[in-house]
């Protein structure tokens, strides 16, 4: 059975990472559960000039058309859709990624809050011992940001800031995005060929 991965996108800068991640997971045959905040809709318009529908059903049709996913492979849930599988420990995803992750969302997860479906889904992953990856896009980090990240890291959360490497000689913004997405996929143990790995010869 394919892995089920929940992808939450919040209102931090970095929407290209989240969209590319969804695309790659679908391409790898994973089952994908998408959640996004209201502010993420604003960021998507600003950074990618795309309009994410407010209604979950419309959003699901939009994602399915964009990435060629079936209804069985892709589900989109609204912010207050408390009957979504991700809201319960009886049906958690195999892993969850919040990408991009605002400092507010990170702080809420660190505090164990569940005021919306994204926070609740993260809390479910923590209590059920599932992989949780946060991709915080902020700079510089304040002491409070770092303390929240350390608190989460100590309980097994992966803190993966979107810091691209340059040893692959990137030639485009897409190359930089793929570097970060590749590192996220590695954490999820999802095979990919997005980048040349360190110490390996270039592909023929």
136-165 residue pLDDT tens: 999 999 999 999 999 999 999 999 999 999
Would residue 196 count as lying in a domain?
no
Residue-number span of the structural domain to which 175 is assigned: 4-188
Distance (Å, whole) CA 21 – CA 2: 16
Distance (Å, whole) CA 204 – CA 201: 9
Confidence band for 203, pLDDT divided at 50, 70 and 90: low
Would residue 193 count as lying in a domain?
no
Would residue 96 count as lying in a domain?
yes
The overall average pLDDT reported for the chain is 95
pLDDT of 1 above 60: no
- Over residues 115-131, the mean pLDDT reads 97
pLDDT of 102 above 90: yes
Would residue 122 count as lying in a domain?
yes
Helices (H), the chain: 15-27, 38-48, 56-67, 103-111, 117-127, 143-154, 173-188
At residue 158, the 3 state secondary structure works out as strand
pLDDT of 2 above 80: no
**DSSP label at 198?**
T
7-65 residue pLDDT tens: 999 999 999 999 999 999 999 999 999 999 999 999 999 999 999 999 999 999 999 99
Would residue 198 count as lying in a domain?
no
CA–centroid distance for 149 within its chain: 16
Q: Tell me what pLDDT residue 204 has.
A: 59
Would residue 71 count as lying in a domain?
yes
Q: What is the CATH number of the domain that holds 145?
A: 3.40.50.1950
- Over residues 85-95, the mean pLDDT reads 97
Q: Tell me what pLDDT residue 184 has.
A: 98
Would residue 170 count as lying in a domain?
yes
Confidence band for 200, pLDDT divided at 50, 70 and 90: confident
Distance (Å, whole) CA 129 – CA 124: 8
pLDDT of 101 above 70: yes
Would residue 8 count as lying in a domain?
yes
Say what the pTM is. 0.96
Report the domain count for the chain. 1
């Amino acid at each position: 059975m394919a892995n089920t991965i929940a992808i939450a996108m919040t209102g931090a800068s970095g929407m290209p990472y989240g969209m590319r991640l969804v695309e790659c997971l679908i391409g790898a045959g994973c089952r994908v559960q998408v959640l996004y905040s209201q502010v993420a809709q604003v960021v998507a318009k600003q950074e990618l000039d795309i309009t994410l529908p407010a209604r979950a059903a419309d959003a699901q049709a939009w994602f399915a058309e964009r990435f060629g996913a079936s209804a069985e492979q892709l589900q989109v849930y609204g912010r207050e859709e408390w009957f979504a599988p991700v809201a319960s420990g009886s049906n958690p995803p195999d892993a969850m990624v919040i990408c991009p992750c605002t400092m507010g969302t990170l702080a809420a997860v660190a505090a164990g809050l569940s005021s919306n479906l994204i926070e609740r889904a993260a809390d479910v992953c923590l209590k059920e011992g599932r992989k949780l990856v946060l991709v915080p896009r902020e700079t510089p980090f304040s002491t409070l940001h770092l303390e929240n990240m350390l608190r989460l890291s100590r309980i097994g959360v992966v803190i993966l800031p979107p810091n691209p490497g340059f040893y692959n000689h990137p030639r485009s913004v897409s190359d930089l995005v793929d570097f970060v997405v590749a590192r996220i996929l590695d954490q999820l143990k999802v095979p990919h060929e997005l980048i040349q790995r360190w110490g390996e010869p270039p592909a023929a």
